Amino acid sequence: MATRGDFGLVPTVAPDGRRAWQVYARPFPSESQRPRIAIVVRGLGLSDAATTAAIQRLPSNVSLSFSPYARKLDQWIAAARAAGHEVFLDLPMEPLDYPASDPGPHTLLTSLKPEENLTRLSFILSRSTGYVGVVNDMGDKFTASGESLTPILQDLRDRGLMLVDTRATRNSLAAQLATDLELPRALNNRAIDQEASRVSIEARLLELERIAKQVGTAVGLAQTYPVTIERLAQWVQSLDAKGIDLAPVSAVANRQTVQ
């Protein structure tokens, strides 16, 4: 499932057609017809305490996304997978106010040639193994540029990965391009802790429930705030009684309509 690139091992489609987004996915009963909510906690690996809390306190169906700049990244991913979580990597992309906001030294930039961005992507993907796909980090400028974004999405598809589009901007082309390129994708519906307060988080979680019941699938993004981990750990226990499945992100791939 991996081949050696310029910076280390990177995902590849196996000779028998197996793809990382399916091989490393957390199993989920495909026959379930109940509404599904998928949660991704991202930015993990930078804080030992927050990462440990996410791995240990959240149920295995919550997907975890790790910073490519995390120390001990291999160890964190191994621990997350051992606890049953499926794993993603945060993929830094250029925000509108770059470099005032800077997601890191290997950020994908609209000012770079496609080959240069693909080299940066290769570095990010070589940081570890065993992940399902990537979650864009920032990127409200990069995801609005079809010229810059298309080669990246093609490469992700050809490596057998999936994309979680955070919808950093309403102008993001990622969802439509991924659909056109047949790249498996999930689309963020709500950033649940944009305001890191208990009241705001619970309101966003209720919105996810409403969306899931209306259209069948909802995806929420979370950060590593202690209040977020606390509220998620409580909230997920209520879903079964509400007739909603908590699903890993791979189980909602391609289930959402691009709007």
189's CB contacts (< 8 A; 6+ apart) are 207, 208, 211, 218, 219, 220, 256
Q: How far is CA 18 from CA 61, 126, 202, 242, in A?
A: 22, 19, 38, 35
Question: Token pair for residue 177?
Answer: 């391009």
Per-residue model confidence as pLDDT tens digits over 215-228: 999 999 999 999 99
The secondary element (H helix, E strand) that includes residue 219 is: strand 217-222
The pLDDT score that the predictor gives to residue 223 is 97
Q: What is the pTM of this model?
A: 0.96
The pLDDT score that the predictor gives to residue 32 is 87
- Least Cα distance to 219 among 80, 38, 52 occurs for 38
- Least Cα distance to 192 among 231, 250, 151 occurs for 231
- pLDDT higher than threshold 70 for residue 21: yes
The pLDDT score that the predictor gives to residue 2 is 74
CB 193 within 8 A of CB 201: yes
Architecture of the domain whose range is 2-252? Alpha-Beta Barrel (3.20)
Domain boundaries defined on the chain: 2-252
178's CB contacts (< 8 A; 6+ apart) are 153, 163, 165, 184, 185
Stretch 13-34: mean pLDDT:
93
The pLDDT score that the predictor gives to residue 132 is 98
SS3 134: strand
Q: DSSP labels for 30-63?
A: TT--S-EEEEEEEEETS-HHHHHHHHHHS-TTSE
The pLDDT score that the predictor gives to residue 30 is 82
Stretch 71-84: mean pLDDT:
97
Pairing type for strands 9-11 and 2-4 reads: antiparallel
The secondary element (H helix, E strand) that includes residue 74 is: helix 73-82
Question: Token pair for residue 145?
Answer: 């540029």
The secondary element (H helix, E strand) that includes residue 54 is: helix 48-57
pLDDT category at 1 given cuts 50, 70, 90 is low
- Least Cα distance to 67 among 44, 48, 47 occurs for 44
